[in-house]
Amino acid sequence: MQQLIDDLEKIREALRYHAHRYYVLDDPEVSDSEYDELFDRLLAIEGENPELITPDSPSQRVGGAPVEAFRSVEHRAPMLSLGKCTSIEELDAWLQRCNSDLDREVGSLICEPKFDGVAVNLLYENGVLTQAATRGDGSNGELITANVKTINSVPLKLLSNDVPAWVEIRGEIYITIEDFEAYNKTAAARGEKLFVSPRNSAAGSLRQKDPDMTAKRPLSMFCYSIGAHSDDYQPQSHLDAINDLRKWGCRVNDYAKRCVDGAACADYINKLGEKRDSLPYEIDGVVIKVDDLATQRDLGFYIRQPRWAIAFKYPPVDASTTLLDVEYQVGRTGAVTPVARLEPVRVDRVTVSNATLHNQDEIERLGIRKGSTVLLRRAGDVIPKIVKVVDAGKGALIAAPSVCPSCGTELARGEDEAILRCPAQLSCPAQVQNTVIYFCSRECLDIRGMGTQRVEQLLKEGLINRNSDIFTLTQESLVELERMGEKSAQSLIEAIESAKETTYPRFINSLGIRNIGEDTSTILAERFPTLEELINADFDTLLEVDNIAETIARNVVDFFTIEANREEARRLVDLGVHWPSPKSPVDSSLEGQIWVLTGKTSRPRTEVKALLTARGAKVSGSVSKNTTHVFAGENAGSKLDKAQELGIQILDETEFDALVS
Ligand code: IVH
């Protein structure tokens, strides 16, 4: 038996070595078939001796069980964000500030590309990857271990034996531009939803509930820093840490470079800027970090940003192209929005062939005609935007449609709205389809397998006509459909069954009331703890709720005035959709306190407010002598100054977290 264990470990070591050469160093030593042969041997032995499988075995990259929801986990050291600058002058000002805060020179700096991907935190215990989490709010992230394990450049076991007892390794997971475009091409051919950017596609791939799905996406990772670690590890500088990461078999970017001063950083920024277009992955700037770790500690933090690092952001890149045509799409609320179809063009490294135009006024403001040459801009994850018309040309003007492109009903334009709407509501096929797609989406009931194509098919075949019909579907009725095997029918039914268990805010969100999203749904759920209370809420009661504006109050009342909407909401509950009953507010620990929130906080504002009000505190919009506490996030401005003047108690994120945890 011992012989078998030893053999197995030798095979694993060899596989780790070759995977590192291939995926991390990009310098394989053996052919793919030799590697596969070795892998097959591992699988064969483990297949016969499942008790010998270890979590760090190369076979454990795939095969994780799908999860219902990602569990939350606390990072051992918070994952910070970075202050930004956009010019060399601002960078110099930052360096000056470091020097004057320290009262000495900061010393060398390390410049690295700022990768435009998804930040993750890997925990290695005794060299073995035990946890992988997203950044989340900086303190707590979502556990995506099984998904991250599928990424070949992430070691399941660190290569060296000289590793800390435990260590957090941070880095960025990304998809190359080429892979992103190839994915979108296939998705477009299948009529599936496209990703707007490589970053967006990496994030989407990591959020798959089934690790087998993540395994199919070509994700990779660059490791760029170490978080918390055990005391047996004491790196002196950031560059030391990077070199250790490399030694441990982690993939490190080769462009990280030590720069002696601001001028050397400026040179690095310019040179990398020139290379940017030829890199296979997206970067949006340069991160400049103080190298010496003791100096980093001396400089410390500003709430959630280190004072010892800054991001230099490259300016956005524009490109011009020809506008071929404008098509009008009908959304779930009937809004008819123009979409520009463009001669495909590379903008900021990505091929763009569509751009949103928001509304007809935008078309007129820009002076767009068919065949106009337009200037396009891509900003991070945002859908590309037409900035201006370079040459209007002599093509036809773009006329707004007078009837709905989906159902032919005459369009209406609201009094104070720039948007055209189809008033046919659920008699309009496009609106029904988009309503159902929204209902099944992640922020609503999150029904896996109910993508655009599936919804379209179910509607066309008449198996569903509205949201609640989804809960009447049976496996027998589904297998009759084209492109639907026994297995997919079963997993769809299972996904529908598990979607019945939801939360009240999600349920409210899924009703599709106009202008009501996740935040407002949470507010409504708190104030109207049962569905019947929400259905019967009148306009004045709604208006009294903090953060509920007149339009929203009107939309809620209008929605529930319609008998069919009331009936549909109740039918969902009758068909088994349920959520935990609300906890009664027993905590009055902050009774009598009046809070003001300012600056950017990791938790959404609504959540901060909910946490405070649940404990009996009141939240106000401006600082006065009645204010008792101020919660100051990043970049807090004049409210913070005023609070300091008045001597009001000020809490930062960490203090706030401690208070409400
Ligand atoms: S260091 C101070 N290094 O930028 C510690 N971050 O705004 C901050 N990022 O969410 C992290 N490339 O995902 C660091 N070379 C790099 C980076 C990098 C991209 C991202 C990171 C984080 C964000 C901070």
The values of phi and psi at residue 73, to 5°, are -140, 145
pLDDT band at 583 (very low <50, low <70, confident <90, very high): low
Q: How far apart are CA 376 and CA 387, in angstroms?
A: 6
- Is residue 114 annotated as part of the catalytic site, yes or no? yes
Contact 336, 329 (CB under 8 A): yes
Map tokens 């800390």 to a residue: 164
pLDDT of amino acid 208:
86
- The pLDDT assigned to 66 comes to 75
Q: pLDDT at residue 447 above 60?
A: yes
314: Cβ contacts below 8 Å, ≥ 6 apart: 273, 276, 283, 284, 285
Element (H, E) at 89: helix 88-102
From 98, 114, 116, the mutation candidate for ligand 1 (largest count of ligand atoms within 8 A of CB) is 114
Rounded to whole angstroms, the Cα distance separating 10 from 344 reads 51
Ligand 1 atom with minimal separation from the 311 CA: 7
Residue whose CA lies nearest to ligand 1 atom number 10: 119
Tell me the per-residue pLDDT of 202-248, one tens digit each, with 9 for 90 and over. 999 998 888 888 988 999 999 999 999 999 999 999 999 999 999 99
Write out the two tokens for 207: 């959020």
DSSP assignment of 408-434 equals: -PBPEE-TT-SSEE-TTGGGSHHHHHH
H helix count then E strand count, the chain: 24, 24
Query: Which residue puts its alpha carbon closest to atom 15 of ligand 1?
Result: 114
Q: Do residues 398 and 428 touch, judged by C-beta distance below 8 A?
A: no
CA distance 393 to 411: 29
Residue to substitute in 115, 134, 223 for testing ligand 1 pocket (most ligand atoms within 8 angstroms of CB): 115
Atom of ligand 1 nearest to the CA of 119: 13
Distance 445 CA to ligand 1 centre (A): 32
Identify the active-site residue in 10, 114, 271, 388: 114
- Ligand 1 centre from 217 Cα, in Å? 23
Best of 79, 80, 81, 82 for a ligand 1 pocket test (most atoms within 8 Å of beta carbon): 82
- Distance, CA 119 to ligand 1 centroid (Å)? 7
Residue 440 Cα to ligand 1 middle (Å): 33
Choose among 359, 357, 332: nearest CA to 342: 357
Report the alpha-carbon distance of residue 225 to residue 290 in Å, rounded: 12
Of 571, 556, 329, nearest in space to 466 by CA: 571
pLDDT at 95: 97
| Nearest atom in ligand 1 to 172's CA | 13
Beta bridge partners of 397: 369
Per residue in 465-489, pLDDT (tens digit) is: 999 999 999 999 999 888 888 888 9
What's the pLDDT score for residue 585?
55
Q: Mean pLDDT, the chain, as a whole number?
A: 91
- At 257-310, the pLDDT tens digits run 999 999 999 999 999 999 998 999 999 999 999 999 999 999 999 878 999 999
Q: Please say if the pLDDT value at position 584 is more than 80.
A: no
pLDDT-based confidence at residue 83 (cuts at 50, 70, 90)? very high
Show the ligand 1 pocket: residues with CB < 6 angstroms: 80-82, 112, 114-115, 119, 135, 172, 224-225, 287, 306, 309, 311
For residue 82, which atom of ligand 1 is closest to its CA? Answer: 7
Measured distance CA(600)–CA(583) in Å, rounded: 28
Q: What is the pLDDT of residue 286?
A: 98
Ligand 1 centre to CA of 241 (Å) is 15
The total number of residues written for the chain in this structure: 661
pLDDT per residue as tens digits for the range 519-570: 899 889 988 989 999 999 999 999 888 888 899 999 999 999 999 999 999 9
Query: With bands split at pLDDT 50, 70 and 90, how would you rate the model's confidence at 413?
Result: confident
Q: What is the pLDDT of residues 86-122, one digit of tens each?
A: 999 999 999 999 999 999 999 999 999 999 999 999 9
Sign of the dihedral defined by the CA atoms of residues 446, 452, 455, 457, in that order:
negative
Atom of ligand 1 nearest to the CA of 112: 15
State the pLDDT at residue 518: 82
What is the 575 CA–ligand 1 centroid distance (Å)? 46
Q: Which residue has the higher pLDDT, 403 or 188?
A: 403
The DSSP 8-state label assigned to residue 157 in this structure reads B
β partners of residue 302: 305
Name the DSSP class of 195. P
Percent of the chain with pLDDT over 90: 67
- Whether 322 shows a pLDDT value over 90: the answer reads yes
